[in-house]
Amino acid sequence: MELSKPRQGLTRDLQGIASDLKWSAVELMRIAERLSSAGNEPDAQAIYRMITIFQSDEARLQSHATEIARALT
């Protein structure tokens, strides 16, 4: 059975947001590394914590998108 248009859109949106979180985590990692190299370890550590949250949220969104896609297949 094919996914309905609203479910396809929701799945696509969730996957897109997850991808944005992944890309943001990559960029934040670069910033955190520069901060750490410059001796600003407290701010680098704060960004590392944000990265962990982003990665966790990305995985959750991907999981939800997969569940929605499987719901009608």
Q: What is the pLDDT of residues 29-69, one digit of tens each?
A: 999 999 999 999 999 999 999 999 999 999 999 999 999 88
Q: Is the dihedral of CA 31, 29, 67, 3 positive or negative?
A: positive
- pTM of this structure: 0.83
Give the count of alpha carbons within 13 A of 41, CB side only: 1
Q: What is the pLDDT of residues 18-31, one digit of tens each?
A: 999 999 999 999 99
Q: Are 40 and 28 in contact (CB under 8 A)?
A: no
| pLDDT greater than 60 at residue 1 | no
Copy the structure tokens of residue 43. Answer: 């701010």
